[in-house]
Amino acid sequence: MNTIVLGGGISGLAYAHALLQGGTPMDELLLLEAAPRLGGLIETCLAEGYQFECGPETFVDDGSLLDGLVAELGIEAQVQRPPASAKLRWLAHGGRLEPLPMGPGGLFRTPILSFGAKLRLFGEPFVRRGKDPQEDFASFIARRFGPQVLDRLADPFASGVYAGVPEQMETQACFPKLFEAEQKHGSVLRGARKVGMKPGKIFSFDQGNAQLVEALAQALGPCVHTGFRAVSLQRDGSGYQVQAEDGRRFAAERLALALPAGPASRLLQTLSPDLAELTASIPFVSVSSVHLAYRESDLPPEIQGFGFLIPRKEATNQILGVLYSSRLFPSRAPEGMVLLRALLGGARNPGIQSQPDQALVAQVRDTLSQLTGLRAEPAFVHVSHRRRALPLYQPGHSAKLATMAKALQAFTGLDLLGLSYLRSSVAGCVREARRLARSHAG
């Protein structure tokens, strides 16, 4: 066997597909997944006529449609784009929703920032470069833009992207373009365009985000085996041997661990206790979703656009924000209905999943009432939980990855990949997985 891939999330699937595209014979490749389904965090659910995401709400296209993978799979015609109105995003401020400022002009017009905070923006190009490669995001933003931009803009942005809090996030690992703009050009504002700091365009598929997973599974065919829970890993000559809890064993010259850091750490213990300890030290946060559907006629006019985020200093409960799911993709709800999705938990609220579902639903309804005036009874309710869903790239994460890379040099044919390490987005995971696989071509 040439290669075994452990983990059927998006990273493992993209890695295996790239190997096939690069010439690895199908009978020389195995992808083994412990769960009964593939996709990892990507999960599209169907219930009562609603199509809703329990993982990432959308994908982000940087112009390459996930590094060319969509074209290779032949599913370009199934790509869905949101309407232009989705560009409208909201932020809770002063007990109401205000449009999120877009671009320099929006920053100077918004009521979210005081006049003094707006003047402070003019000074950003003259702030000295930071010298700490492990600087946290809160310090970075406060140093360059001031505390008000941190509290009112950067804080909700951090929770919306990573479900994190700025004080616990390394700037270089979480926002590498911001870090690069400062280090190379001395200013975020001056260097933004030069480092390619341009927001991507969101998209999904006709059958939801899971359509990407299904297309990959179909392309991989007999290479994929679900229900295989690996319990041990050891060297086998010049390769590796994996054993499942049911006693089955597989051996291959190359092994890719496309697993979350926790499971990867347990398998690595027999190979390298040091490497296992490093992977185990990556923390994760849990996130819960509450989906609610309402009749279009019951909705106030504020529920238009993409959705809203809630800064910590505006929060009255454990909600991070609300997405207007079927405003983005109308096919996600039956005609005449609107589907919303609230996100709760993250690093702000680590104990969120100990609460009963009805308590979470009550929080969401209370927030919608306060910020939008929506008081109608929902016609549909669904609650889902993702325990240890997202990694936290804490200060020191980049240095940790460098140490891990050195440790991996002792293990020819072993790859570590996935959301736990870098590229905390679907597009980033796909790109990194395909890069690694291509490096083994030929």
Chain centroid to Cα 35, Å, comes to 20
Given this model, what pLDDT does residue 196 score? 78
In order along its 442 residues, the chain shows pLDDT tens digits of 799 999 999 999 999 999 999 999 999 999 999 999 999 999 999 999 999 999 999 999 988 899 999 999 999 999 999 999 999 999 999 999 999 998 777 888 999 999 999 999 999 999 999 999 999 999 999 999 999 999 999 999 999 999 999 999 999 999 999 999 999 999 999 998 888 777 889 999 999 999 999 999 999 999 999 999 999 999 988 899 999 988 999 999 999 999 999 999 999 999 999 999 999 999 999 999 999 999 999 999 889 999 999 999 999 999 999 999 999 999 999 999 999 999 999 999 998 888 999 999 999 999 999 999 999 999 999 999 999 999 999 999 999 999 999 999 999 999 999 999 976 689 999 999 999 999 987 5
Given this model, what pLDDT does residue 442 score? 55
Cβ-contact 15, 434 below 8 angstroms: yes
Given this model, what pLDDT does residue 423 score? 66
Given this model, what pLDDT does residue 194 score? 85
Contacts of 177 (CB under 8 A, 6+ apart): 192, 195, 196, 197
Structural domains in the chain, CATH included, are: 3-42+62-78+209-282+393-438 (3.50.50.60), 88-208+284-391 (3.50.50.60)
The residue with tokens 């452990």 is: 6
Residue 100 phi/psi, 5-degree rounding, is -70, 125
Contacts of 307 (CB under 8 A, 6+ apart): 89, 90, 321, 322, 323, 324, 327, 340, 341
Nearest to residue 40, comparing CAs of 346, 263, 267?
Answer: 263
Take residue 14 and report the two structure tokens written for it.
């993209």
Question: How far apart, in whole angstroms, are the C-alpha atoms of residue 330 and residue 61?
Answer: 20
